[in-house]
Amino acid sequence: MGHAASSKKEKNPKSNRAEQLPGLKVVILGDSGVGKSSILVRYVHNQFTPMYIPTTKVSIENIVKKLNIPDHALVSLTFWDLPGKEDIQLYRSYFTDVDAAIVVVDLSDPESLNMALVWKQILMNNMTVTTVLDNTPGVKRHEDIYKKEPAPNKYTIPILLLGTKFDLVEKMTQNSEGNKDSVQTSDNKLPCIKELEEYGARYNFTGSMAVSAREGDGSVHQAIQIFIRHIIEKKYRPRKQEENNNDKLGSASAVEKIFEISGVENIDKEFLKAEKCIRRIQSLSKYSDQSLKKFFVKCSQSNLTNSEDISLENCVVALKKYFCSPDTQLEMHEEDRFCTINLKAEKENIKMASCYEKIFKTFNLEYSASVKAILSEFPDFISTLSNIDNRIEVLCQDNSCQQNLLNDKPLDYLQASLIIETNRAKIKFTQNQATDKIKSAETSLNKIKTSLLW
């Protein structure tokens, strides 16, 4: 029956596209007893059991959910409910090809929140992605078909911070104070809720929300639905919608958006300032990588190095050996924290072949120039992005800003928070990328110096 239904929908392109369901693997993390399994059962089956049975092995639930997104009304979700205590080697196998994560903490336990960052770090340290090496039919070993590599998106993976047992917190508050309003903050939030939000913002979680799996109040469903919808909008946004957004912004369709618009004007202005730094970091990093590859290609084409065993050290050593003679030698000139490489000739009439001239020009005028720019500009960019992120954090804590969003639109603030935290994660990722590029440039200089000593 499934095939018959599918064939009917193929007449409508939009229906056919919806039939190809987006799929997400979501892992649920947290200490034992915080309520991970209860959250999953409430969301998938809308049920709750008061009996506590510790999860001793991973539980996997597959479900198709309807989301309020044009052209992507359905999404296939695979939830992995992980034990609170597990061997780290097993966690590595669980964290393969993960699309998102939910870190669960117990609001009724003051110590539980401090473990959220630990679980986030465990996830990022062990995330891997699977690459298909050879899908040709035949008898092959698993390692000949698939390859696991460290996940490139570990700094930007969406992670929801979910505080459970909110019903217990409310009861404890009422019992201890007699009037729960008396212990709430000026913005009508219980202290544990405010602490949860501040913690999530401080450690760059995609969003944070307090829920109750015991009470059928819809809080679990609402929190996860908004989180999944945010991921799907980011990952599977229709091309037409992107083009419309670009037209509204007056930008060319070839320019990829870096940040989503949160709707909080003063915060979006800060992200706009950060965008200029990020685009410069991205363009310089890309040009540096491309020029280094071009240098490698020139060395290989000139038969100085083997294309299968090519590196910066090998190229420099090969150049030194080739031009080592009584009349010529390779010379390094250090300037602006990096270097150039030139040929020093004892006789003025020595003419270098054009292929070797191109090697030196590629290194000095392209690769060396880009590295010098990175070393000169990136420290300032890193500092600027830190200042911008600090200002955004202050704006996020502005109660008046939050209250304006909450008025008559209870979902707007959570959605804006998810967008803001995702944008802040991009800033952090770019800062790490810039720092890595600086370290890589310093390492490259040391490699060149060492190579010239050989």
Pair (144, 282) in one structural domain: no
| pLDDT at 442 (0 to 100) | 93
Check which CATH number belongs to the domain holding 156 and give it: 3.40.50.300
- In this predicted structure, what is the pLDDT of residue 59? 73
**In which domain, by residue range, is 328 found?**
266-453
The total number of structural domains that make up the chain: 2
CA 104, CA 107: separation in Å to the nearest integer? 9
Instruction: Say if strands 23-29 and 100-106 run parallel, antiparallel, or are unpaired.
Output: parallel
In a shared domain, residues 71 and 138 = yes
Shared domain for 394 and 282, answered yes or no, is yes
Q: Which segments of 159-311 does DSSP mark as H helices, in order?
A: 166-177, 191-202, 219-235, 239-249, 265-301
Give the strand pairing for 207-210 and 159-164: parallel
- The rounded distance, in Å, linking the Cα atoms of 106 and 210 is 10
Same domain assignment for residues 44 and 178: yes
Q: Does one domain contain both 227 and 275?
A: no
pLDDT of amino acid 121: 86
The predicted pLDDT at position 4 comes to 38
Asked, for residue 66, whether it belongs to a domain, the answer is yes
Going from the first residue of the chain to its last (454 residues), give the mean pLDDT of each consecutive group of 10, the final group possibly shorter. Answer: 38 43 86 88 83 64 70 77 67 84 91 88 86 56 64 85 88 63 54 88 89 85 89 65 44 61 87 91 91 90 79 90 85 91 79 85 92 93 94 78 47 75 90 93 92 80
Instruction: Tell me, yes or no, whether 272 and 231 share the same domain.
Output: no
Question: How far out from the chain centre does Cα 326 lie?
Answer: 54
- Per-residue b/e over 114-125, b at no fewer than 16 CB within 10 Å? ebbbebbebbbe
- Choose among 65, 401, 38, 24: nearest CA to 234: 24
Residue at a domain's end among 187, 220, 235: 235
Is 441 domain-assigned? Answer: yes
Say whether both 173 and 288 belong to one domain: no
Residue pair 213/220 in contact (Cβ under 8 Å)? The answer is yes
Distances (CA, A) of 184 to 177, 192, 197: 11, 10, 15
> How far is residue 66 from each of residues 40, 131, 232, 385, measured CA to CA in Å?
17, 30, 12, 38
Tell how strand 328-335 and strand 338-345 pair up: antiparallel
36 in the same domain as 165: yes
Q: Quick one: 168 exposed, middle or buried, by C-beta within 10 A (0-12, 13-18, 19+)?
A: middle
295 occurs within a structural domain: yes
Angle at 386 between CA 384 and CA 387, to 5 degrees: 65
Give CA 33 to chain center in angstroms.
29
Q: What pLDDT shows up at residue 351?
A: 75
Q: Which residue has the tokens 């829920």?
A: 211
The pLDDT tens digits of the residues spanning 34-66 come to: 888 889 888 988 887 766 565 556 677 777 777
Integer Cα distance of 108 and 110 in angstroms:
6
Domain boundary among 219, 235, 251: 235
216/278 same-domain check: no
Instruction: Say whether both 161 and 225 belong to one domain.
Output: yes
Residues 211, 212, 218, 220, Cα dihedral to 10°: 50
Taking only the tens place, the pLDDT of each residue in 260-293 is 888 888 898 999 999 989 999 998 999 999 999 9
What distance in Å separates the CA atoms of residue 56 and residue 447, rounded to the nearest whole number?
A: 49
Q: Is residue 419 in some structural domain?
A: yes
Do residues 170 and 36 share a domain?
yes
CA dihedral 306, 310, 313, 314 (to 10 degrees): 0
- pLDDT at residue 367, as a whole number: 93
- Rg of the chain, C-alpha, whole Å: 28
pLDDT value of position 75: 81
Query: What pLDDT, on a 0 to 100 scale, did the predictor assign at position 445?
Result: 93
Report yes or no on 444 lying in a domain: yes
Helix (H, G, I), strand (E, B) or coil at 274: helix
Domain identity same for 151 and 278: no
d(CA 334, CA 342): 11
SS3 253: coil
CB 382 within 8 A of CB 434: yes
